[in-house]
Chain A
Amino acid sequence: MNIRAQISVVFHLDKCLGCHTCSLACKNIWTDRPGTEYMWWNNVETKPGAGYPSLWEDQQKYKGGWDAGGKLKSTSKSRIVANIFHHPSMPTMDDYYEPWTYDYQELFNAPEGADQPTARPISLVTGKHIDIEAGPNWDDDLGGSPIYAAHDPNLAGLTAQQRQQLFAVEQLVFFYLPRICNHCLNPACVAACPSAALYKRGEDGIVLLDQKRCRAWRACVPACPYKKSYYNWSTGKSEKCILCFPRIETGQAPACFHACVGRIRYLGVLLYDADRIREAAARPNDELIDAHRSLILDPFDPEVIAGARKCNMPESTIAAAQKSPVYQYVKVWKLALPPHVEFRTLPMLFYVPPMAPVMAARQGDALNHVSQDLFHDIEQARVPIAYLANLLAAGNESKIGYALRKQKAVRWYRRAQTVGDVDAQTALRMLREADCSAEEADAIYRLTALSTFEERFVIPAGHRELGVEALQDPLKHKQQAGFGFIAGPRRGL
């Protein structure tokens, strides 16, 4: 076993309120520079919806990810020779949007007249006036959904009736999908980069892009099926989410996590077996979720701990893995699922599927708390299970059903304890049918509803001192570090 640590995250979609605070926290720190204005390393999409960039999930168009044979869809060693001058599946700025600003002086300088003065949008690329045709959240809250959301690739396999029901007036339903780089175990961007500029950090699994080595061959952009590698048109270098590694290394949660109003985000270490990555990524679609989960190792297993020590893993990382909220959600409770695991990059960001639309599914008659089939609402949900399964389980509806049933059982169990209008026997029966013990239900409730900052973000020590020691005498390093020259990211001639 080759045991490595991966900083992994869970987004609890049932708690996401779609406020975009995460996106703005990220934007203000990382992507407000020339050439990055159109990038949203963290974005929040409305689902069903076309997303950002438009229809990113449609791999017929973008050729992202891997095929079952372990080959990249967008490029290969032979094809890169021909594609290096023109990449055939490269998205253009039109697939994202043309970023803009306003000249607010126009409001003050406008001559007095009968009309309100306006500030016309100005392109941040050309500096000229533009008409806005798209934005990073153009179909937010289902705006214009007959045009945008109707083309959502996750609607594949839904009946016409289900589709109509999704968008019917007074019945329509949506949820939010916050997205960052998944820091995959089998990253397509890394494998596609002709210059070997992209790499995965051994110590914590964060996928980074070495801008000094990036030569703008732009293979990472089409290769990433989540479209989370972006090309900076101004510097001529690609950029991506860095999981705020300068914050992580100093024990702080990434900015989008720290800022999250709904407290939907969890971050912690997972231990995994790096030798089995390729094998897991090559499994048939319906086995992928289990194969992916099987890579994650039990941090309490003495054999795993011994193996981790043998791989030079610091004790603090093993301890962090044992306290990891992500391990609970993903491996123990099986509540959190990876997005589009069929892209075969083995994403290490997991989503707890949203419950809220299920509870609102019943129309007309009131909810019957003592129904014989307590989970029937889930099958009749207004967001069809098939839709969620396309998004989070490679079409495997049983995985979504399991996660939703358990969440519902925990709710009813809590309701029996706090409100008291559900009798304890029914609640316990629901837990049993949802494969959940009372202790587990309490733990899920605690981590979901009551968790503190420290419980949500279990960040392992960065141990940069070990890295320094490997290269240089730490005392010398201390004397030499601190002052220096910083070269800005200036575009070459």
Chain B
Amino acid sequence: MNLPLYLDRALFVGLPYAAISVCLIVSLQRYGWRMFTYSSLSSQLLENRTHFWAMVPFHYGILAVLLGHLIGFSVPRAVLAWNGRPLRLYVLEAAALSFGVLALIGLAALINRRLTNAKMRAVTSAMDWLTFALLLFQAASGVYVAVFTPWGSTWYAAVVVPYLWSLFGLNPDAGVVTQLPLAAQLHIVNAFILIGLFPFTRLVHILVVPNPYLWRRPQIVRWYGSR
């Protein structure tokens, strides 16, 4: 799918830099000056029945998919080598697709839970709705691409990852990405919109995953000053 050159430039060069800059600066500013607003804003207290069936599939699905994208981004050659044998390619694609579908189902359940329960609607802001809409589009377009334009794991590593690296190398080259099918291009653009909006949404809770819990002592005592 071909777009006018200026639009290509805006969507695949301008937008990524703007989104990543905003994400970094505002996330840090929010952490430093508005730390109180960092919260997962759990709603489990208000509704516990469908909570499990929405939260668990969504989080495991989306985390696995994100991890897959990250692995492809960091070691594209290893992914290509892995995909060299058809059986291994099928296994990877099937796993990726199932986690994508899991995330999509969880997200649909999550949005349904927010729509149908009066208590849930009371704790859902306009920004939450926008976030859910963007996430839904991202997950749906991802699953669509995975199903209708095989084999994504290979062409992601071969086509999209060099583009992403070119962004990080400050030598942006949208190149072949602009030739991808429309769904794939929308998936990429929407990802950057999500990154740009990230610090203004509840998604910031990803940044405060409580990993120190795994190695801290059980009891905590705080004294005035140092001791």
Contacts and interface: CB of A to CB of B under 8 A. Distances in A.
Nearest to A90: B44
Given A127-B122, A194-B213, A203-B223, A236 B44 contact: no
A451 interface: no
21 contacts: A87-B44, A93-B119, A190-B219, A195-B210, A196-B216, A200-B219, A200-B220, A200-B221, A201-B222, A203-B223, A214-B39, A216-B40, A216-B205, A464-B224, A470-B225, A470-B227, A490-B37, A492-B38, A493-B37, A493-B128, A493-B202
A280 to B, nearest CB: 13
A199 B36 contact: no
A190 to B, nearest CB: 6
B52 A86 contact: yes
B40 A217 contact: yes
B202 A212 contact: no
A218 B42 CA distance: 8
A469 interface: yes
Interface in A287-334: 312
Given A85-B55, A126-B122, A467-B225, 4 more contacts: A85-B60, A86-B56, A126-B121, A196-B216
A125 B36 CA distance: 21
Given A215-B39, A492-B38, A493-B37, A93 B221 contact: no
Interface string B190-227: 00000000001110110010101110101111111111
Contacts of B7: none
A195 B119 contact: no
A478 interface: no
Contact of A86 (B55, B125, B208, B220): B55
Interface residues of B, number: 50
A480 to B, nearest CB: 16
A187 interface: yes
A93 B38 contact: no
B46 interface: yes
A212 B45 CA distance: 20
Nearest to A466: B224
B220 A198 contact: yes
B222 A212 contact: no
B74 interface: no
Given A85-B56, A215-B210, A128 B118 contact: yes
A interface, how many residues as a size bin? 35 or more
Contacts of B171: none
A489 B40 CA distance: 15
Interface string A197-229: 011111100000001111111100100000000
A199 B48 CA distance: 28
Contacts of A200: 219-222
B118 A492 contact: no
A202 B223 contact: yes
Contact of B38 (A80, A92, A186, A215): A215
Given A216-B42, A237-B36, A489-B36, A77 B205 contact: no
B213 A77 contact: yes
Contact of B204 (A93, A202, A221, A492): A492
Q: For the complex, would chain A's binding face be called helix, strand, loop or mixed by DSSP majority?
A: loop
A392 B123 CA distance: 40
A212 B222 CA distance: 15
A92 B48 contact: yes
Contacts of A203: 223-224
Contacts of B39: 214-216, 235-237, 491-492
A223 B224 CA distance: 27
A80 B214 CA distance: 9
Given A236-B39, A490-B37, A492-B202, A469 B223 contact: no
A202 B221 contact: yes
Contacts of A277: 219
A250 interface: no
A355 B38 CA distance: 50
Interface in B103-125: 118-119, 121-123, 125
Interface string B126-143: 011000000000000000
A234 B41 CA distance: 8
A80 B125 CA distance: 28
> By CB atoms of chain A within 10 A, which of B38, B51, B55, B60 has the most?
B38
A93 B45 contact: yes
> By CB atoms of chain A within 10 A, which of B59, B121, B122, B218 has the most?
B218
Contacts of B212: 196
B224 A125 contact: no
A277 B217 CA distance: 14
A233 interface: yes
> By CB atoms of chain A within 10 A, which of B36, B45, B121, B128 has the most?
B45
B202 A191 contact: no
B75 to A, nearest CB: 25
What 5 A-B pairs come out closest when comparing CB atoms?
A470-B225, A467-B224, A492-B37, A194-B210, A202-B223
Contact of B51 (A86, A186, A195, A199): A86
B43 interface: yes
Interface string A481-493: 0000001011111
A221 B48 CA distance: 14
A176 interface: no
B122 A125 contact: yes
A471 interface: yes
Contact of A231 (B42, B59, B204, B226): B42
Contacts of A187: 219
A235 B38 CA distance: 10
